[in-house]
Amino acid sequence: MKVPFGTISITEQSKSLISSILVSGRVSNGKYVREFEQKFAELTGTKEAVALSSGTDADALALAVLYDFGAKRMDEILVPALSFVATGNAVLQAGFKPVFVDVERETLNINPMLIEKTITKKTRAIMPVHLMGKPAKMDEINKIAKKHKLFVIEDAAEAHGGVYKGKNVGTLADMAAYSLYIAHIITTIEGGVVTTDREDFAEILRSLRSHGRACKCKLCVVNTNSGYCQKRFNYGRDIRFIFERVGYSCKMNEIEAAVGIGSLKNCKKIISKRRENLLKFIERLTEFDEYFTTIHEEKNEKIGPHAFPIILKEGLPFTRDQLTDYLDKNGIDTRDLFTSMPTQCPGFSFLGYKLGDFPNAEYIGNNGLHIGVHQDLGEEHIDYFFKTLRDFLKKVA
């Protein structure tokens, strides 16, 4: 049996939209991107959503907004040490310095108790990650941010469908950055989106995604219907060639938006099925408490069902890599549970951190893995996973 990590469902609606887009010849950012943005904002419960070309761009542009509010190059952004490397990359791409904070082993998320000791005069924002879809402790984080007058940006890349104390992930901070990558719950194949309730943030984001142009209308008449733009020469020259800020080139295109529109239509059903799978995996892992730990869903939250993380306990007679190799040989696709970016990713070595600085992130980086919980998995796949795990333990434990 094969247990793949991810899947994608491209709906008939999406296929029909893609055909009409190709016939029209209007394939760049246009009316379908705008439709996707509206529907994504409605789903999360925010006033604004700005679609981009990747989740990494979503992180980077959300941070780049801060330059309009007094931030300077190489100011500091606090991020968890454990995350997919895109989190740290985005901070650097936005021109800031990442300052890392260790995580809680039981939640995988940034430890609020360690945040304040890392704050300096150059700190501008905290960017917690809802890793594996488990919401970070946003009440504590927001309280610290308010005390020190910092912005908060949720890295919600994996957290579609997550809920924290009755509020949707994506509505818990100044902005939230989502990934729409192929393996995620809502997908545009490649893509990202930033949500916010602040119209001024959204306007800046629309400028940033198009090279920093002065053009930042919520609905662009030129891109959506080739209409006449009354604002085009309001500034004495063509507004499309006035660049107000250092920007990026990371617009979503119409074909990606068409896939996303179909994905949004099915997302509640997909989230429900993935949650069902995730909770079954969590419950059934208790049979192996001697060997493994995982995250758990608290009363005040719903985990966005991205994937099922497993962490090996200390002192076992086998390694994470031996386990993943066995699973792979038996058709079960796995991923490492990321690494400590500052101390286990060579690309960040220039920042001067050393092994031992982030013990929990480093432990998970050496001993964590995750597998898919996607909507194409059924009871038989879950049974097969635990049978394979049981067979492995008989051989090595």
Per the domain annotation, does 389 fall within a domain?
A: yes
Q: 393 pLDDT exceeds 70?
A: yes
Percent of the chain with pLDDT over 70: 98
CATH number at residue 310: 3.90.1150.10
Q: What is the pLDDT of residue 139?
A: 98
SS3 at position 178:
strand
List pLDDT tens digits, range 144-171: 999 999 999 999 999 999 999 999 999 9
Q: 221 pLDDT band (50/70/90 cuts)?
A: low
Least reliable range by pLDDT among 100-114, 211-225, 230-244, 343-357: 211-225
Global pTM?
Answer: 0.94
- Tell me the chain's radius of gyration from C-alpha atoms: 22
Per the domain annotation, does 2 fall within a domain?
A: no
List pLDDT tens digits, range 282-332: 999 999 999 999 999 999 999 999 999 999 999 999 999 999 999 999 999
Among 260, 288, 315, the domain boundary falls at: 260
CATH number at residue 70: 3.40.640.10
Dist. CA 340–CA 132, nearest whole Å: 15
The CA-CA-CA angle for residues 97, 101, 102, to 5°, reads 145
Beta-strand relationship, 192-196 and 48-52: antiparallel
Q: 142 pLDDT exceeds 70?
A: yes
Q: What is the mean pLDDT of the chain?
A: 95
Domain of residue 246 covers 12-260
- Domains contained in the chain, number: 2
Q: 88 pLDDT exceeds 90?
A: yes
Q: Verify that 365 and 337 share a domain, yes or no.
A: yes
Find the farthest-apart pair of alpha carbons in the chain and give their distance in angstroms, rounded. Answer: 77
Q: Verify that 275 and 209 share a domain, yes or no.
A: no
Per the domain annotation, does 3 fall within a domain?
A: no
Q: Verify that 99 and 240 share a domain, yes or no.
A: yes
SS3 at position 379:
helix
Q: 235 pLDDT exceeds 90?
A: no
